[in-house]
Amino acid sequence: MVVRQEKRSTLIVGAGPTGLTAALELARRGDRPRIIDRKDGPTPLSKAVGISSHSLDVLEASGVSGKLLAEGLKVRHAHFHAETRELAIIDFSLLPHRYNFLLSLPQRETERIMAATLATFGVDVEWRTELVGLAQQGEKITVRTSLNGEEQDHRVDTVFGADGAESSVRKSLGIEFEGYTHERRWSITDAEIASWPYEPDAAQAFLHRDGGVGFIIPIGNDRFRAVSNTPDALAHIPGEYHVSQVLRIDNFHIPARQATRYQAAGVFLGGDAAHVHSPLGARGMNLGIEDAACFARRFNDGTLAGYTDERRPVGHRWIRLSEQILSTAQSTNGFVQTFRNLVMSTIGAIPILQRPLLERVAGLKE
Ligand SMILES: Cc1cc2nc3c(=O)[nH]c(=O)nc-3n(C[C@H](O)[C@H](O)[C@H](O)COP(=O)(O)OP(=O)(O)OC[C@H]3O[C@@H](n4cnc5c(N)ncnc54)[C@H](O)[C@@H]3O)c2cc1C
C-alpha cells in the first residue's frame, strides 16, 4: 500500500453542509483542504430546509449566500395553532437583521450550491471516497481512505470530522456520543399541494389536545414539507387543500446526543458528528455551519485549542432548549397545554416578546 504525504494537510471528512462550510471557509482564506465523501454526490434528500440569518452571514464571504437567496423562499411568518384556533403569528421581520426571514431551501440544493462554489476556489469534493481508518501518530494523523475498494493511507496534520451522526471519525477517537433517542416515531412528507388555504410564504404549526403535532413549511412553488409525531405527517395539518403529488414520505426517531469532546489532538468534530437533536427550531444544519465557520476561523488564527470550549456549550444549550420545546409541544397534560397556549397567545400579541425566540432560531443569540 502507498502512503501519500499530503501537501495540503487538512482533511475534511464528509461533504454535507458542515464539511462543505469548513472547506469553503478555509478555501476563501487561501487554504487548500481535501474534502472526501463516501456518497457519489450531494444528498438526494431534502433533509434540512431552514437556513438561518446567521448561516447566511457565515456563507456570505464565500459567495454562497447570494446563490442560496436567489433559489430559496423567504419564510416571513410562523403561525401557531391549538387545534384550528390561531394562537400566535411569529413575525421574522422583527429580527434586527438584514436577513429578517428564514430561508427555505431543500438541503440537496444547498449542498449542490456549496459544492459548486467550492470548485470555483479550486477545491473539488472527492466523492465515493470513504474514510475507513484514522490513527493519531505523533504529530500527524494517518487516515485510511477507500476509493472503489482501493485503500490508501495518507498522513495529514488536521482532520475535521463532519461525517454525520454515525461519525467514523468520532468512533475512531473513542469519543462518546452521550444522550438518548426518543421512542416515538415521527413522519415526514414532502408534497405538492394545490389550493393552499394558509398564508403562502409562512410556516404553520398545529398543536393538538391528544399530544399530536403537525408542522408544515413551504419549500418551493406549491411544494411543502410536513413533519409530525404521528404516522401520517399531513393528517395533523387541518384545512381544505388538495395534495396533487406526494414527493417523499419518510419517518425518523428524534435523538438528543452530544459528543463529550469536540477535539482530540489534531482531530475536530462538527455538525451532526458532534450533536444531534430535534428538528423543531430548524437549528441542526445551522449549528453545523456555525461549528465549521468557528473551526476555519480558529484554524486560520492558530487558536484551535479553544474550539471545544467555544462550540460545545452552544450545542448543549440548544439540545436542552429543543428538548423543552419538544416536550411542551407534544404534552398531553391539560395544565401544560393551557399554560403553553397562554404563553404563545401573549407572545403573539406583544411583538417585543418575540425577539428573544426569533434571535435564537436565527442563530443571532445563543
Ligand atoms: C428529515 C430531516 C429533516 C431535517 N430538518 C432540518 C431543518 O429543517 N433544519 C435544520 O437545521 N436541520 C434539519 N435537519 C438536520 C440536518 O439535516 C442535519 O443537521 C445536517 O444534515 C447535518 O449536516 P452535517 O454536514 O453535519 O452531516 P450530514 O448532512 O449527515 O453529512 C455527513 C456527510 O458525511 C458523509 N460520510 C459519512 N461517513 C463517512 C465516511 N466514513 N467517509 C466519508 N464520508 C462520510 C456522508 O455521506 C454525508 O454526506 C433535518 C434532518 C432530517 C433527517
Per-residue pLDDT, 148: 86
The finding on whether 266 has its CB within 6 A of some atom of ligand 1 is no
What size, in residues, is the chain? 366
Report the alpha-carbon distance of residue 99 to residue 54 in Å, rounded: 8
C-alpha distances out from residue 147 to 23, 85, 106, Å:
20, 55, 28
What's this model's pTM, rounded to 2 decimal places?
Answer: 0.94
Q: Distance of alpha carbon 53 from its chain centroid, rounded?
A: 13
* Host H or E run for residue 285: helix 284-301
The CATH H-level superfamily of 3-73+106-180+255-336 is FAD/NAD(P)-binding domain (3.50.50.60)
255: helix, strand or coil: strand
Q: Which ligand 1 atom lies nearest to the CA of residue 145? A: 42
Residue spans per domain, the chain: 3-73+106-180+255-336
Return all residues near 350 (Cβ < 8 A) that are at least 6 apart.
Answer: none
Per-residue pLDDT, 1: 54
Per-residue pLDDT, 262: 98
Report the alpha-carbon distance of residue 308 to residue 131 in Å, rounded: 23
Report the alpha-carbon distance of residue 246 to residue 323 in Å, rounded: 30
Residue 338 Cα to ligand 1 midpoint, Å, equals: 36
The finding on whether 130 has its CB within 6 A of some atom of ligand 1 is yes
Q: To test ligand 1's pocket by mutation, which of 107, 125, 131, 314 has the most ligand atoms within 8 angstroms of CB?
A: 107
Q: Distance of alpha carbon 149 from its chain centroid, rounded?
A: 30
Q: Which ligand 1 atom lies nearest to the CA of residue 168? A: 41
Contact (CB, 8 A) for 13 and 36:
yes
Per-residue pLDDT, 8: 52
Per-residue pLDDT, 281: 82
Q: Which ligand 1 atom lies nearest to the CA of residue 291? A: 26
Q: For the chain (length 366 residues), average pLDDT per consecutive 10?
A: 58 98 97 96 87 96 98 96 94 94 95 98 97 92 94 96 98 97 96 94 96 95 95 92 95 97 96 95 93 97 96 96 94 96 95 90 86
Strands (E), 287-345: none
Per-residue pLDDT, 6: 47
